Each structure stands twice: as structure tokens, then as C-alpha cells.
């Protein structure tokens, strides 16, 4: 469904991605794990069209999207929930959701959008309870739920999640991961970025391990969990964090 | 007067809410609205209504040009430099207006005669009713725009978080243009409706712009309600002061208020709503 072929991306003179390739099949959860600064967010931002690759290509269902604008890409069904949530803090929870439907404002009428709001509120009931509140007043976990719900309002085919468990209370982490699984069971394709490798591998089907702008390892979750390097570098500490 | 300050203040608010920029050329939009109107009704002999529409559209176009020529090239600069550029734009627009219209003050046609009406012992110009009526219309229209249209919400979203807005498929660049077009149009509306009362002149925007800004600060920058309340309040205080002390001090009063407001309550007189929002969450 999504195929990224040896993309290289620069920030000014700095090369952040040195030729990254991966693919995502329909209905899969694929995780990209890696330490701080490995280039995970850079990958998602390039897929979303916020950054342009200097070389390489990105194919969505075999057609190239790496020259399109962010608006065109989200209209094609690729929706990102960015790192750090980035909700519209001064707007109400409800308005945040409505803005999520911005890419399809011309196709869908008001009643359809209202129905979708109800759908995502069913997925995250807290958002209904707080619908009039300013988004900035929600807790970290609630904001993360809002950010995911907002992405869903675009009715994406692929959801790109950038560290959805970062800075979120442990109970909420579990709930968010459960929801990600639920979405996949409903047919959604998901790219999940995590530093918390254990959390990521507990829900994903396949994974890629990134180090300083390169993919150093890939495989099914079972393979990655068995891999000595992964155990040492990513799970050792991660295990403790999750279970403590 | 308060009604037009309110509209000028709303012009500032639109741009501030869309971009976090304070556009110091806002007063020049007001001045241009008035002068366009004078020329269209005078030289071209148009009647009030079509002249109104054309003057508003022309000023909105100037707003668009300001954005394209001065703001857009600085899209990567920090907010402070952009604000300074708007000051430069205001000087430029004033200069152009002086070349086109000269240094004369022009009397604009009253919308429905200049015979004062007497109500409860006070004499009021019919134009004042136009000012208040149009202000109410503008306020309602803006409320509808921001609350009930997705474009209005997207515009607010751009100011809060540009990256997230882009990810939602909002074309941030178009939104910036739209906010300058809207506030150009609003400035023109204010300029047109008060031109019959205050006279239109190439440098009329300086004073009006600063008073609109003063109204914004009074009501709290970024708040639409605040802008209206601030504008009306400033109008009332000004005329009270003029009556009690001397009309010569009218302008000084506005600045005194601006200084006091900036000093005591830089967040404006209406922070109540935000306080309530914050409390709800706990
Ligand atoms: N706007 C930027 N300008 C310059 N360099 C950047 C910028 N954003 C990221 N980088 C650099 O690019 C590299 C990859 O960054 P990226 O944000 O993609 O990492 P990440 O894997 O998402 O890390 P994290 O886990 O901290 O989110 C890092 O070395 C970072 O310093
Ligand atoms: Mg990141």
C-alpha cells in the first residue's frame, strides 16, 4: 500500500535520512523504532509532504506522492498524528475534531461529519465529555487521544502515528495501544513510531529498526523480539520502564 | 465613534488571530477606505451603495498586496521583524495616498443626510446610526465566520499551530492572504462609515489606527468581544473626557488609556472567559 524507496532527506546541510526504504501492506501495523534523533519523525514528515526528499520515491498504491503538497497527500488518505500531539490548544475539543475533517470539507456534508464525530467519540468517550473544553486544558493522554481522533476525522486509509505513548500515563498507554489494534482490526493500515520498543512490538505485525538515518534491521515482530541486538539496545531498558 | 474603533480593532484582531502579527498598517486601510469612497462618490458620481462595495473591494485588494509584497517574503522571519515591516508599509501607503489625493482633507457624503436627529435631548447625526448598525452587522458576520464555518476555524488553527494545520490539509499561505483581505475590507468599512464625520485625509489612518489598537489592548489582544467592548468603551470615555475637560484633549485621552491599559492589564480587561476555561479543567 505504501512503499518508501531509498529516500534521502536533508535539513539544510545536514543529511537526516541516508536512504531509507520500507513498505507497509494493507491492514498491517508496521512499527519504526529507533533512539532519539534516528530520523523517525523525519520519515513521517516526508511521507506527509512537509519535507521533500532530495532523492528516492514514495509510492501510495503504486503512484508517487513525494512531489505532492501536504493537503493533497492527506486527501489521498494518508493522515499523520504528529509527535507531541500538536492539538489546536485554544480551540475546543469539538472544533479540533471538525478541523480534522478539513481535507474532505468539499465532499462531505455537515451531517456526515457530525456522524464521524460521534464515531470517534465512541472510540474515545472522554472526548465527548470534554467537547466544549479548550484542547490545551486536557491531560497529555487525553490530548493524544484527541490528536488521533482528529487524524481519523480525515477518514484515512493509512494512519501515521508519531510516538503516541510519549509523555502519557501508563493506563492511558495501554488504552491507546488497544485502540490502535482496534483500528487495525477495523481495516486500518498503521505506521507506528516508537522509542518505547516494547510497547510498539506488543501491537505491531512487522517492524524496522532505525539508526542515524538508516534502516539497520527489519522483520516480523517475532523475529525482532528474538534478535539479540534488539534485546540489548531497545528492550533491556524498555522492559523495565513498562513494567515498573 | 466607538463603533468605528470597534471595527478597526476587529481588523487588528483578525490578522492577529490568523498570524500572531500586529499589523500597524491597519489604520492605512481605514484611511484608504475613506478616500476611495470620497473619490468614487465625488469624481465618479456613484451612489453610496455601489461606491461602498467598490471601496471595500479595492482596499481588500490593497490588503492582499501588502501580504504578497511585504509579509509573504518574510514568512521565515520572526514575528517582530514582520511587525516592523507593517510599520514600513503604513508609511509607504500614507506616502502613496499623499501623492494621489494630496494633503487636503475631504468631506465625505453622509449616507442619509447630515441633519441631526434629536433623541432624549441629545442631538445625534444620522451617520452615527449607520456606524452602530454596520458595526453590529460586522460583529455578527465575523462570529458566524469563526464559529460556524470550517474556513474560519482553519484560520484560527493556523495561528495556533501551523504544522498541525498543514497536516490537516489547510493551505496556510491562502489563509494568510485571506486574513489580510478580510482585515483590509474591515478597515475600509470603518473608514467609509466615519469619513463623513471625521473627514478623509492621507494621514487620517495614523490616529484612527492607533485608537483601534488602543481598543484592542483595552479589550485584550486577540479577543473579538474584547475588541468590540474596547472600541465602544474608548468611544464613550473619549467623548466624556472631551465634554468634561476639553475636546482638545480628546486624542490625548486615548493614549493615556492605552498606556494605563498596557501598564496595568496587558492581557486586557476581559480575561474572564479564559480564566473560566482554565477552571473547568480542574
Ligand atoms: N528542523 C530541523 N532542523 C535541523 N535538523 C533537524 C531538524 N529536525 C530534526 N533534525 C535532525 O534530524 C535528525 C533526525 O531527527 P528526527 O526528529 O527525525 O528524529 P526522531 O527519530 O524522530 O527522534 P525523536 O525520537 O527524538 O523524536 C536528528 O539528528 C535531528 O537533530
Ligand atoms: Mg521524532
- Name every chain B residue with its beta carbon within 8 A of the beta carbon of A150: 168
Mean pLDDT check: name the lowest of B144-158, B217-231, B255-269. B255-269
Closest residue CA from atom 26 of ligand 1: A36
The residue extents of the domains of chain B are 2-107+126-281
Does the domain at B2-107+126-281 match CATH 1.10.3470? Answer given as yes
Each residue's pLDDT tens digit, B57-114: 999 999 999 999 998 898 888 888 888 999 999 999 999 999 999 999 998 888 888 7
Say which of A48, A88, A101 has its CB closest to residue B157.
A88
Each residue's pLDDT tens digit, A58-96: 999 999 999 999 999 999 999 999 999 999 999 999 999
Kindly report the average pLDDT of chain B as a whole number: 86
Domain count, chain A: 1
Calculate mean pLDDT across residues A219-229.
88
The predicted pLDDT at position B282 comes to 40
Q: Answer whether A13 contacts ligand 1 (Cβ < 6 A).
A: no
Is A138 part of any domain? no
Q: Answer whether A37 contacts ligand 1 (Cβ < 6 A).
A: yes
Each residue's pLDDT tens digit, B11-58: 998 888 888 888 999 999 999 999 999 999 988 888 889 999 999 999
Mean pLDDT check: name the lowest of A82-91, A97-106, A207-216, B263-272. B263-272
The predicted pLDDT at position B126 comes to 86
Is A243 part of any domain? no
CA–CA separation, A106 and A56 (whole Å): 32
The predicted pLDDT at position A197 comes to 87
Each residue's pLDDT tens digit, A184-206: 999 999 999 998 888 899 999 99
Whether A126 has a pLDDT exceeding 90, the answer reads yes
Q: Answer whether A87 contacts ligand 1 (Cβ < 6 A).
A: no
Each residue's pLDDT tens digit, A168-188: 888 889 999 999 999 999 999
State the residue range of the domain holding A31. Answer: 2-83+143-235
Whether A217 has a pLDDT exceeding 50, the answer reads yes
The number of residues in chain B equals 282
Closest residue CA from atom 28 of ligand 1: A37
Q: What is the CATH number of the domain that holds A71?
A: 3.40.50.300
Kindly report the average pLDDT of chain A as a whole number: 91
Whether A7 has a pLDDT exceeding 60, the answer reads yes
**DSSP per-residue letters across chain A:** -EEEEEEEEEETTEEEEEEEEEEE-TT-EEEEEE-TTSSHHHHHHHHTTSS--SEEEEEETTEE-TTS-HHHHHHTTEEEE-TT----TTSBHHHHHHHHTGGGTTTS-HHHHHHHHHHHHHHSHHHHHTTTSBGGGS-HHHHHHHHHHHHHTT--SEEEEE-TTTT--HHHHHHHHHHHHHHHHTT-EEEEEES-HHHHHHH-SEEEEEETTEEEEEEEHHHHHH-HHHIIIIIHHHHHHHH-
The predicted pLDDT at position A238 comes to 45
Amino acid at each position: 500500500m505504501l512503499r518508501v524507496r531509498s529516500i534521502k532527506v536533508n535539513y539544510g546541510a545536514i543529511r537526516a535520512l541516508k536512504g531509507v526504504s520500507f513498505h507497509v501492506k494493507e491492514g498491517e501495523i508496521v512499527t519504526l523504532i529507533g533512539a532519539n534523533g534516528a530520523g523517525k519523525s523525519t520519515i513521517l514528515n516526508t511521507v506527509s509532504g512537509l519535507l521533500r526528499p532530495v532523492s528516492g520515491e514514495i509510492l501510495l498504491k503504486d503512484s508517487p506522492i513525494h512531489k505532492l503538497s501536504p493537503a493533497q497527500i492527506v486527501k489521498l488518505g494518508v493522515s499523520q498524528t504528529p509527535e507531541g500531539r500538536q492539538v489546536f490548544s485554544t480551540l475546543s475539543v469539538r472544533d479540533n475534531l471538525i478541523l480534522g475533517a478539513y481535507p474532505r470539507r468539499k465532499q462531505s456534508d455537515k451531517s456526515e461529519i457530525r456522524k464521524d464525530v460521534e464515531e470517534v467519540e465512541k472510540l474515545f468517550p472522554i472526548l465527548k465529555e470534554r467537547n466544549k473544553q479548550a484542547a490545551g486544558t486536557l491531560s497529555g493522554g487525553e490530548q493524544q487521544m484527541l490528536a488521533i481522533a482528529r487524524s481519523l476525522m480525515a477518514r484515512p486509509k493509512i494512519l501515521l502515528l508519531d510516538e503516541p505513548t510519549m509523555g502519557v500515563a501508563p493506563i492511558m498507554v495501554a488504552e491507546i495501544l488497544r485502540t490502535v489494534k482496534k483500528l487495525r482490526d477495523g481495516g486500518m493500515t498503521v505506521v507506528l513510531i516508537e522509542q518505547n520498543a516494547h510497547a510498539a512490538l506488543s501491537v505491531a505485525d512487522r517492524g524496522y529498526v532505525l539508526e542515524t538515518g538508516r534502516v539497520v534491521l527489519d522483520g516480523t515482530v517475532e523475529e525482532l523480539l528474538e534478535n539479540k541486538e534488539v534485546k540489548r539496545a531497545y528492550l533491556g531498558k524498555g522492559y523495565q520502564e513498562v513494567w515498573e | 465613534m466607538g463603533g468605528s474603533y470597534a471595527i478597526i480593532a476587529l481588523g487588528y484582531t483578525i490578522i492577529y488571530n490568523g498570524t500572531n502579527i500586529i499589523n500597524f498598517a491597519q489604520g492605512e486601510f481605514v484611511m484608504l477606505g475613506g478616500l476611495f469612497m470620497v473619490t468614487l462618490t465625488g469624481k465618479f458620481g456613484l451612489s453610496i451603495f455601489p461606491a461602498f462595495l467598490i471601496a471595500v473591494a479595492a482596499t481588500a485588494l490593497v490588503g492582499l498586496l501588502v501580504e504578497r509584497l511585504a509579509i509573504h517574503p518574510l514568512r521565515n522571519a520572526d514575528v517582530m521583524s514582520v511587525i516592523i515591516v507593517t510599520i514600513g508599509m503604513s508609511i509607504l501607503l500614507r506616502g502613496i495616498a499623499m501623492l494621489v489625493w494630496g494633503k487636503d482633507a475631504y468631506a465625505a457624503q453622509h449616507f442619509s443626510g447630515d441633519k441631526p436627529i434629536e433623541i432624549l435631548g441629545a442631538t445625534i447625526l444620522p451617520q452615527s446610526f449607520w456606524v452602530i448598525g454596520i458595526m453590529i452587522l460586522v460583529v455578527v458576520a465575523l462570529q458566524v465566520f469563526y464559529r460556524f464555518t470550517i474556513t474560519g476555524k482553519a484560520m484560527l488553527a493556523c495561528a495556533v499551530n501551523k504544522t498541525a494545520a498543514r497536516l490537516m490539509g489547510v493551505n496556510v499561505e491562502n489563509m494568510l492572504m485571506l486574513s489580510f483581505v478580510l482585515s483590509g475590507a474591515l478597515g475600509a468599512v470603518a473608514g467609509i462609515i466615519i469619513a463623513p464625520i471625521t473627514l478623509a485625509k492621507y494621514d487620517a489612518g495614523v490616529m484612527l489606527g492607533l485608537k483601534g489598537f488602543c481598543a484592542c489592548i483595552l479589550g485584550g489582544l486577540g479577543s473579538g468581544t474584547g475588541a468590540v467592548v474596547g472600541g465602544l468603551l474608548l468611544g464613550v470615555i473619549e467623548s466624556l473626557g472631551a465634554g468634561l475637560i476639553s475636546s482638545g484633549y480628546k486624542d490625548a485621552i486615548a493614549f493615556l488609556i492605552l498606556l494605563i491599559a498596557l501598564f496595568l492589564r496587558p492581557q486586557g480587561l476581559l480575561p474572564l472567559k479564559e480564566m473560566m476555561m482554565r477552571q473547568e479543567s480542574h
